[in-house]
Structures are given as C-alpha cells and as structure tokens.
A and B are shown apart, each in its own frame.
Chain A
Amino acid sequence: MSNENNTLIKLTNINKVFLTDDMETRALSGVDMHIDNGEFMAINGPSGCGKSTMLSIIGLLDTPTSGEYTLNGRDVASLSASERARIRNKEVGFIFQSFNLIGDLSVYENVELPLTYRGTKSSARKELVMEALEKVDMGHRMKHMPSQLSGGQQQRVAVARALAGKPQILLADEPTGNLDSKNGEAVMDLLKNLNDEGATLCIVTHDERYSTYATRSVHLFDGQLVDGDGVMAGV
C-alpha cells in the first residue's frame, strides 16, 4: 500500500446539505482540501461558515452529501457507522471546545477511555495513558476528578485523551473557545509542541491569532474555501 505524496487526508468536491424543516442549508459546497502527514492545519472562518461541519466530516462523525474522502489512502465516505466508529477510535483523536470530559470518571479513566475498547492489555494501556498525560504535563493529576481541575487543565486532559490512542491525526474544534487567553495560548503551545514531535493536527478556530501556530491555514467562508495554500476555492 502506498501513500501518494505522503497525503493523509484528501477531500475532493465535498458538499454537505442540511435539510431542516422546509429549508435547505448548504453547509459546504465543493470543498477540495488535503492534509499531509506531519502538518498543522488550521481552518479559519467566522461563526456559521461550516467549519465544524467540515471537522465533523474529517473526523468521520458525519458523512458528506456528496464528494470523495480518502483517509490514509482508503475511501471512507461510504463506510458503515460502526466501521467509521472503529476508525475514529483508532486513527482520529478529538479535542472539543467544551472539553467533554466525563464527569464521573477520573482523569486517568477519561484518558484511558478510547483505549478501553481496543483490547490492549491493562499494563500496556497504563503505559500509553501515562505517556499521554506526561506529554500534557498532567501526570500528577491523574487521580483527580474533572470537576477539580481548571478549564485549562481540563483541556489538557482532553488533549491527552486524544493523544493516548496514538492516532494518525488530531482534530480540535475551537480548543481554546472556552479558555481565557493565557490558558488558550498554553494549549496552543502544547499542540504546537506535539506537531513538532511529528503529530498531524487539524484545528478549527475563528480566532485569527491562533492560526499563526499552524503550518498552513485555510479560510472557510459560507461553506467554501476562499484562500489557502495551493488549494483552489470554487468561488
């Protein structure tokens, strides 16, 4: 199996249409995009431009109405829901705006969660979890409950959770949205460090400041890419 041009993700002519009541909303129209291994991609745009829809599609949470999507050389647009779940579990790491840590699980258990369903041995799991927690500098808090942590710490745990499974790509949806600027920057620094160590990242943000952390950024406006590094926007 070969990966052409080291491309991890390739989106071709992606369209997404939401049917709500009797209205048809075009969230994405004809988006072409690719993400290479080791890249730090930022998708910018104002609220409601379709960024999150885009990320949902990249993260296999949602399927495009039409278009082609290859992940790691494999066509994933037409997979069944459970197959998509498996890929999400193994190859994609999610970081949410509102952290979405599970309240009645400890920090350790939260990070362990995605590994639980892989059949990894508990000793091996522990190694992976500790490694991820050390990376985000939260190893000393593993017995805490999420409610005992500050927002920034919670988001770091969420990053560790995304990292623990050694995914091919980390997806972050407004990872700084619920944080003050100091904590926001800390999280972005963390992501940048991860990228330097070789992780592939794709973040969605409406905050231009954070785009500078990325190696490449694209701009989404009304469901279309308007500029970006060598990506044609279908204006």
Chain B
Amino acid sequence: MKNEKTELLKGTLDLLILKTISYEPMNGWGISKRIEQISGKKFCVRQGSLYPCLHRLEAQGWISSKWGASEKNRKAKFYKLTQHGQKQLDKEMEDWRHFTGTVELILQMC
C-alpha cells in the first residue's frame, strides 16, 4: 500500500510547528490537524513524533506550555511561541526560503 501523503523533510517539522503556533497558542492535536488541514492533507505528521518534537522545542526555550481548556472544555496543554522562538522562526523561514530558492534556481537552469 503506497502512501499518497508526502513524508516531511527532516527538520521541517520544527519550522511548521513554530509557524503554526505563531498566531495563537495551540494544543498538540490542534497543531497536527492544522498542518494537515492547511496542507490539504498533503502532509502527514506522524502524530506520535509530534510530541517529542514539542518537548524538545520547549526544552530549547523556543516555545512554552500552559495547561488550559480546549474548545470542548477539556483540559489540554497549549503551546505558544516565546520571543526566542519568534527569532528562531524568522531565521528558519529565511533559511527555508533561501534553500528552496536555490533548489528552484538549479531546477530552472539545468
């Protein structure tokens, strides 16, 4: 059974998470759904691997977490971007654009 969804490139998950929560604090499930939704279900975040990633980002100080109530009034852990994380996001977005731009350039020229 060949999976239609594209595996995420290594390292891009960080970027996507940071970007996703840059607008509002979100819980883990929300983040995974949002990424799936926006990508038109093109991207599949293996749900299990999302959490280690979140915890790592938190340990690095880029995001912070707080317990809050979800839309159905359930207790959920919400993640939000820190100032440090904002800087990191800007940097990673810059890097990403630079990277894709270069790849695109090569694809066009050759």
- Touch test A–B (CB under 8 Å): yes
Question: Which A residues lie at the B interface, using CB under 8 A?
Answer: 1-2
Q: List 4 A-B contacts (CB under 8 A).
A: A1-B7, A1-B46, A2-B1, A2-B3
Q: Please, how many angstroms separate the alpha-carbon atoms of A2 and B44 in the complex?
A: 12
In angstroms, Cα B1 to Cα A2, docked, is: 8
Q: How far is the CA of A2 from the CA of B7 in the complex (A)?
A: 10
Give A2's nearest chain B residue, CB to CB.
B3
Q: Which residues of B contact A1 (CB under 8 A)?
A: 7, 46
User: Residues of B with Cβ closer than 8 Å to A?
Assistant: 1, 3, 7, 46
Query: For the complex, would chain B's binding face be called helix, strand, loop or mixed by DSSP majority?
Result: loop
Residues from chain A with a CB closer than 8 A to the CB of B7 are 1
Complex contacts, B1 vs chain A, CB 8 Å = 2
Identify the closest chain B residue to A5 (Cβ).
B1
With a CB–CB cut-off of 8 A, which chain B residues contact A2? Answer: 1, 3
Complex A-B, nearest 4 residue pairs according to Cβ-Cβ distance, in ascending order: A2-B3, A1-B46, A2-B1, A1-B7
Q: Across the two chains, which residue of chain B brings its CB closest to A3?
A: B1
| Residues in A neighbouring B46, C-beta threshold 8 A | 1
A1 to B46, CA, bound (A): 8
Residue of A nearest to B49 (CB): A1
Q: How many angstroms from the CA of A1 to the CA of B47 in the assembled complex?
A: 11
Task: Give Cα distance in the complex from A209 to B26, angstroms.
Answer: 59
Q: Looking across the interface, which residue of chain B has its beta carbon closest to that of A4?
A: B1
B42 nearest CB across to chain A (Å): 16
Q: Give B44's nearest chain A residue, CB to CB.
A: A1
How far apart sit A13 and B9, CA to CA, in the bound complex (Å)?
30
Closest CB in chain A relative to B92 CB, distance in Å: 24
Q: How far is the CA of A1 from the CA of B48 in the complex (A)?
A: 11
Q: In the complex, how many angstroms separate the beta carbon of A119 from the nearest chain B beta carbon?
A: 13
CB closest chain-A residue, reference B7: A1
What residue in chain A is nearest B46 (Cβ atoms)? A1
